[in-house]
């Protein structure tokens, strides 16, 4: 099985999308910022992969999917992309995954994929990182991250994952907002009834999740009975 991305095969599945491929790049987000809507930017390796909240994204050569997509901005785009990523992983590997609001894809308590969305110049620039064939992660990341290879015990085709993901993006980005909220709430154990800690710029919030509001923000019910609306990430399962 070829383990590197088969760009010709990916292009043949998505003839309507401009697909740009870099063996090495700082970040696919940088290249995507200059692309038109519909474009896909892929890299085999990133030297300055960006994560959410100013973190870096571990981007070992040929081990993961490092992809940026240029999309029409849409409400709940970030939740739709989480669903698309989960769908691709489940389809190709059969693993059970969870979604930690808003869009971390989890296997058990470890993160296997992450999504970052920037809005700029009337474009939604979405970055998707999926840990596929990493055999291990450096500390301290190893405590929080996993890969499809670690979870299945076998190597997984990057090309199959990417093709399944891009098809799922086409499907989920056509759904309306109430449908995305319903699908997300169904797929995510974090959406309701989960005790969480949320790291916010003005301090910590702890409580039990109580669903999504109509805009897709997470409602957390604190122990004093009041609700807080979480509009950005930083959600973690609370230690019991
Ligand atoms: C997160 O922190 O969960 C989001 C991670 C997003 C990583 C991807 S890899 C492809 C794209 N390019 C980047 O530099 N970051 C995103």
Q: Which two three-digit tokens encode residue 50?
A: 């960006």
Give yes or no for residue 89 CB within 6 A of ligand 1: no
Give yes or no for residue 29 CB within 6 A of ligand 1: yes
Which residue minimizes the CA distance to atom 10 of ligand 1?
A: 66
Give yes or no for residue 52 CB within 6 A of ligand 1: yes
Burial code (b: 16+ CB inside 10 Å, e: under 16) for 61-75 equals eebbbbbbbbbeeee
Q: Return the best residue to mutate from 30, 31, 52, 114 for the ligand 1 pocket (most ligand atoms within 8 A of CB).
A: 114
Pairwise CA distance, residues 112 & 95, whole Å: 11
**Cβ-proximal residues to 176 (8 Å cutoff; 6+ apart), any chain:** none
Cα 59 from chain centre: 14
Q: Are 18 and 35 in contact (CB under 8 A)?
A: yes
Q: Is the pLDDT of residue 240 over 70?
A: no
Cα–Cα distances in angstroms (integers) from residue 90 to residues 134, 160, 162, in the given order: 18, 12, 13
* Residue found under tokens 């019991």: 240
Pairwise CA distance, residues 161 & 62, whole Å: 13
Q: Return the best residue to mutate from 29, 115, 129 for the ligand 1 pocket (most ligand atoms within 8 A of CB).
A: 129
Mean pLDDT of 145-161: 98
Instruction: Provide the residue count of the chain.
Output: 240
Q: What is the pLDDT of residue 67?
A: 98
pLDDT-derived band at 72 (thresholds 50, 70, 90) equals very high
Mean pLDDT of 137-149: 96
Omega into 140 within 30° of 0, i.e. cis? yes
Mean pLDDT of 15-32: 97
Residue among 240, 186, 181 at smallest CA distance from 216? 181
Cβ contacts of 107-114, under 8 Å, gap ≥ 24: 107/146, 107/151, 108/146, 109/237, 110/144, 110/145, 110/146, 111/144, 111/145, 111/146, 112/145, 112/146, 112/147, 112/148, 112/151, 113/65, 113/85, 113/89, 114/51, 114/52, 114/57
Q: Return the best residue to mutate from 22, 45, 100, 128 for the ligand 1 pocket (most ligand atoms within 8 A of CB).
A: 128
Maximum Cα–Cα distance across the chain = 57
Pairwise CA distance, residues 210 & 194, whole Å: 8
Q: Is the pLDDT of residue 180 over 80?
A: yes
Pairwise CA distance, residues 12 & 103, whole Å: 28
Q: Tell me the per-residue pLDDT of 200-211, one tens digit each, with 9 for 90 and over.
A: 888 899 999 999
What is the pLDDT of the chain when averaged over all its residues? 95
The sign one gets for the Cα dihedral 67, 73, 78, 79 is negative
Q: Which two three-digit tokens encode residue 232?
A: 């950005």
Q: Tell me the per-residue pLDDT of 38-61, one tens digit each, with 9 for 90 and over.
A: 999 999 999 999 999 889 999 999
Pairwise CA distance, residues 236 & 206, whole Å: 10
């Amino acid at each position: 099985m070829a383990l590197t991305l088969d760009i010709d095969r990916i292009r043949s599945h998505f003839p309507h999308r401009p697909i740009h491929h870099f063996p090495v790049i700082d970040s696919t987000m940088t290249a995507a910022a200059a692309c038109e809507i519909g474009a896909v930017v892929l890299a085999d390796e990133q030297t300055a992969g960006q994560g959410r909240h100013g973190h870096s994204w571990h981007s070992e050569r040929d081990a993961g999917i490092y992809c940026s997509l240029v999309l029409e901005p849409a409400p709940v785009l970030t939740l739709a992309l989480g669903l698309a990523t989960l769908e691709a992983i489940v389809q190709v590997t059969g693993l059970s995954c969870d979604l930690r609001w808003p869009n971390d894809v989890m296997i058990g308590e470890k993160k296997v994929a992450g999504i970052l969305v920037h809005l700029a110049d009337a474009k939604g620039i979405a970055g998707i990182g999926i840990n596929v064939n990493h055999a291990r992660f450096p500390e301290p990341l190893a405590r929080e991250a996993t890969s499809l290879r670690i979870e299945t015990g076998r190597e997984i085709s990057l090309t199959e994952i990417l093709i399944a993901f891009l098809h799922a993006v086409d499907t989920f980005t056509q759904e309306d907002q109430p449908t995305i909220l319903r699908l997300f709430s169904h797929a995510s154990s974090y959406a309701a009834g989960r005790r969480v800690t949320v790291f916010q710029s003005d301090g910590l919030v702890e409580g039990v999740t109580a669903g999504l509001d109509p805009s897709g923000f997470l409602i957390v019910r604190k122990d004093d009975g009041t609700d807080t609306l979480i509009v950005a990430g930083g959600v973690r399962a609370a230690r019991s």
